[in-house]
Amino acid sequence: MSTCKPSWIVGIDVGGTFTDLIMLNADDATVRLAKVPTTMHNQAYGVVAALEAAGAILPELQVIVHGTTATTNAIAQRGGKPLYDSVTRLI
């Protein structure tokens, strides 16, 4: 059984073209970066690809912060009706 202490802080930004990732090791300030194509049909694939590209080991991750412009872009491009309908059904 591993007793590793989670020490990596991860930030992920899913954009319309690329998914960017930065990892910071809280113990020694090591930084890792990754940039992979965004997978619009399922953004999770791009997030996983970015984690793999950065060499992330899940038990070593302390915090993951995720951001995306997908909702903002859908509204700005007037494509937000399907999103609105989905959110409305949840309320």
Number of other CB atoms surrounding residue 12 within 10 Å = 21
| Res. 89: pLDDT tops 80 | no
pLDDT for 80 beyond 90: no
Span 8-90: which CATH code? 3.30.420.300
Domain boundaries, the chain: 8-90
pLDDT in tens, 19-75: 999 999 999 999 999 999 999 888 899 999 999 999 999 999 999 998 887 666 766
- Name the 3-class secondary structure at 80: coil
